[in-house]
Amino acid sequence: MRLALTLAALILVAAAPPTKRLSVTLPDGEGLLPERYGVSADAANSNCLACHSAAMITAQPRLTRVQWGETIAKMRNVYGAPIDPADDKAILDWLVAD
């Protein structure tokens, strides 16, 4: 009886539709961020394009330096982004350049 129940359970598991897997689509590398008003984009390109496309970054609303700093901290501390803290100033300079 136990064997019959085990076999029935295995058959049900095998017949079940596969579960959907969560997938993440990373940017396709359509380009680099440009220099902005004479401010180099090197730090932003090195850190931000690992997860975000250039188009996504440049479409963001204008934020203050403090707001962008909080955003960088969130990316690093909440999402685990490997942003080099030594690059924070250069990234912020590029994000708020006008």
Question: In CATH, what number is assigned to the domain containing residue 60?
Answer: 1.10.760.10
Domain that holds residue 45: 26-96
The residue assigned the tokens 């004479």 is 38
pLDDT at 98: 86
Type and span of the H or E element at 95: helix 88-96
Asked whether residue 85 is domain-assigned, the answer is yes
pLDDT at 4: 63
Asked whether residue 11 is domain-assigned, the answer is no
Asked whether residue 18 is domain-assigned, the answer is no
Q: Which residue numbers in the chain have pLDDT < 70?
A: 1-10, 12-30
Asked whether residue 8 is domain-assigned, the answer is no
What is the tally of structural domains in the chain?
Answer: 1
Asked whether residue 17 is domain-assigned, the answer is no
- Which amino acid makes up residue 98? D
pLDDT at 1: 64
